[in-house]
Amino acid sequence: MAFKPTLSLVLMFILCQVAIGQKRYVVFANGYKGFKHDKETTANDVDTLPDSYWMNYDDTLMKRFAGAKAIYIDGHHPINTTPHRTKTKAISSYLVTRFAWLSRGPGWAMNDTPNPIGFNVRFHNGQLCGLTFCKDFLCSDKRDTIDIVCHSMGYAYALGFLDAVDEQMILGKILILAPESPSVMGYDWNRFQQVWQIGSNRLEPHADRVCQQDGIAPQSAVKNIESLDVTKGGRVFLPQKAPRGFIRSHHLNWWQWLLEIKKGEPGYFGRNT
């Protein structure tokens, strides 16, 4: 006798299919962890435990994504993968740019010549991390949603991670904070529901003085963001009240104002509902 499913069984099956795989992940991709960790590099692990790199930012942001799961990936790589290339050049840039009280343009020892080889090292490791994520969390073919927060050299790492998971996930929102080498590589940002790049206004009209700019990761627009639908986000620069300087315009220790951006304002990162 052929099996004839009842209406209740059919409804139960449909509800199960709807429920399965509808998860949301917020991925935090950190950047450089300081000179004392310079010889270390990422293990490309995926963690669910908070990372001190994010201080209280992750706690606040996760409250805006009720029901989502926080994922931590480590984008730290040696300084030789950055435009600084060496500690000596990074320190020299810091010392020289402190005296650039009048200059607002390019130059003044900002280490911003791209290091594509180093960028690609971080991108490739991000891909490996993305593959680990899909293995451990069973990427479910466009049923789960992923949101991303990346900072500094974590930008390149996040792009690699994204390359490994984007065909299997729904792309939610991405918050790109003070990205390092932002012009080297980008993405089709319109595939996200929302995109915000936040950082210094270097090379923009009415830019801050060079001594007030982010010197750790000299800023420019992330590649392809000019093609982003304006209703989906864009670039946001440091507010007037934000501390400024080679380090202060970059390090999260001086970015508490980020959490004060209100819902509906440019740069706000959270669920719509």
Amino acid residing at 248: R
pLDDT of residue 21: 54
pLDDT at 149 > cutoff 90: yes
pLDDT of residue 142: 85
pTM for this model (two decimals) = 0.91
Q: What angle do CA 104, 108, 111 make, to 5 degrees?
A: 110
As a whole number of angstroms, the distance between CA 161 and CA 44 comes to: 10
As a whole number of angstroms, the distance between CA 88 and CA 99 comes to: 18
Q: Dump pLDDT digits (tens) for 47-88.
A: 999 999 999 999 999 999 999 999 999 999 999 999 999 999
Locate 83 and state its tokens: 């435009």
Q: Count Cα neighbours of 249 within 13 Å in the Cβ-side half-sphere.
A: 28
| DSSP codes of every residue in 39-58 | T------EE-S--GGGTTHH
Given the structure tokens 């500094």, which residue do they identify?
152
Which neighbouring-strand residues pair with 24?
145
Locate 199 and state its tokens: 């950082």
As a whole number of angstroms, the distance between CA 74 and CA 44 comes to: 7
Continuous segment of H or E residues that includes residue 149: strand 145-151
- Domains of the chain plus CATH, in order, are 23-260 (3.40.50)
Q: Categorize the per-residue pLDDT at 19 as very low, low, confident or very high, splitting at 50, 70 and 90.
A: very low
